[in-house]
Amino acid sequence: MKEFTWEAYDERRILICGSVNMCFMILGQFPGDYTETVYLCDENYAGMDYEEVLSQIEEKAVSQIEHSQLTPSIDSEEERLYLEEVRGYFEKLRRLKVKLLSGEEIGSFAGDYCILASRTLFNRYCKCLGYTSLEDFYSAVPILKTGYARMTYFGYLTTLYRRQKNGLYLGGVEINLTKRCTLRCRDCANLIQYYDCPERMDADVVVRSVKRLLAAVDGIAMFKLMGGEPLLEQEMMQKILSLPELSPGGKVLGIQIITNGTLLFNEDLLKLMRKNPLLGVLMSNYGSLSFKEQELKKQLSDFGVQYSEIAENDRWRNFGDPHKVYHDPEEASKLYNKCRSKENCCTVLDGRFYACPRAAHGDMLGFYPEPEGHVDLLGPEDELTLRAELKKFYYEYEATSVCMRCTNLTGDLIERAVQKTKKES
């Protein structure tokens, strides 16, 4: 996809194609002095008055906050400030001139800035605009500053990327920089807790596998750097983020670094990060365990690096013990077809491309009766062969013993980041 940035804006019309909720998140990032009309295409609201629609959605948002059990009572100062912030957000939206259109009305916008914000109506938008692929649309990622808006936007596009079988577009890909971690979470879904003394990964292998992956695919919606704890390997991270394919207009739509709030970035890496508007940091708030959280937020803010945070009251789902069998093959296959991991969590580990982190680390740890299926990114010498192997694996992978030993969709909600005791270790 092409990147929409205000620095390159040349006064062509702006059309945002998607649900009004997602469109409003994008509109909320527009500069306050923008005076031109913005066009939104949502069949459910086509032709309606913008102010009327805005009032409906604002009323619903306020009602959800006031009656949510996840927020303090309506009399609390925290909720009062939050409501003020939400109302201020809608007040900002009211300053914009917006027109709501149907698909039949957008044909003339083909040469303008057409920003895609929907997965379900992608084919319809293409037909109405005369487009053929994702490459014809603009991405709003560089202008989405707030963490929640960015994550929601990627939620739309990781699914859409997987559906583009005319090329090789991957949804979410996790690049594992290390098997080491600063925490010892008992219920880590990625199985990091089962490594006793993990050795450092070969930086050359990791960087070369990333280069080969990027050369073989047409695009990746969300490119994630993680571990373990990825900030243990900042020099390796710097080499990867310096690749031209990860720059705006390259092969990826967005970049995310996932950290647990126990380490800080070094200054050289921060200087590199702030140059890339596609990049954001996702922090896990594990309460007192994330003891560098406030310093990390200040550090990122000082360097102008976007970040978001998983709420402290969020909960994990129990993925189960990888040694136990929970499902028969038929049930595992049905669960895999519903699993979001195939869209969001394809994993690169030690030069291999796996369906998910649990498959990758479980294979490395020898937990499964047969070696887990994967693609060797450093195997085929020519790019076309690698591309063909990746495409076959990505679209034809079937549930195996990994899924039989995973309770992702059926496990209970549990407390996050409970640390293993010495006895459990």
> Domain residue spans in the chain?
2-143, 154-414
Closest CA to 90 of 126, 110, 60, 115: 60
* Contact between 93 and 54 (Cβ < 8 Å): yes
At 68, is the pLDDT very low, low, confident or very high (cuts 50, 70, 90)?
Answer: low
Q: Which two tokens stand for residue 92?
A: 């900002």
Long-range contacts of 43-48 (CB under 8 A, 24+ apart): 43/102, 43/103, 43/121, 44/19, 44/20, 45/20, 45/100, 46/100, 46/101, 46/102, 46/105, 47/100, 47/101, 47/102, 48/100
pLDDT of residue 133: 87
* Whole-number percent of the chain with pLDDT over 70: 97
- State pTM to two decimals: 0.88
Range 9-31 average pLDDT: 94
Convert the pLDDT of each residue in 209-232 to its tens digit: 999 999 999 999 999 999 999 999
For residue 75, pLDDT beyond 60: no
pLDDT of residue 128: 97
CA pair distance 130, 127, nearest whole angstrom:
5
Bridge partners, residue 76, by sequence: none
The CATH number of the structural domain formed by 154-414 is: 3.20.20.70
Whether residue 139 is predicted with pLDDT greater than 90 in this model: the reply is: yes
- The Cα–Cα gap between 382 and 253 comes to 25
296 or 310: which leads in pLDDT? 296
**What confidence category does residue 189 fall into, taking pLDDT thresholds of 50, 70 and 90?**
very high
What is the mean pLDDT of the segment spanning 414-424?
88
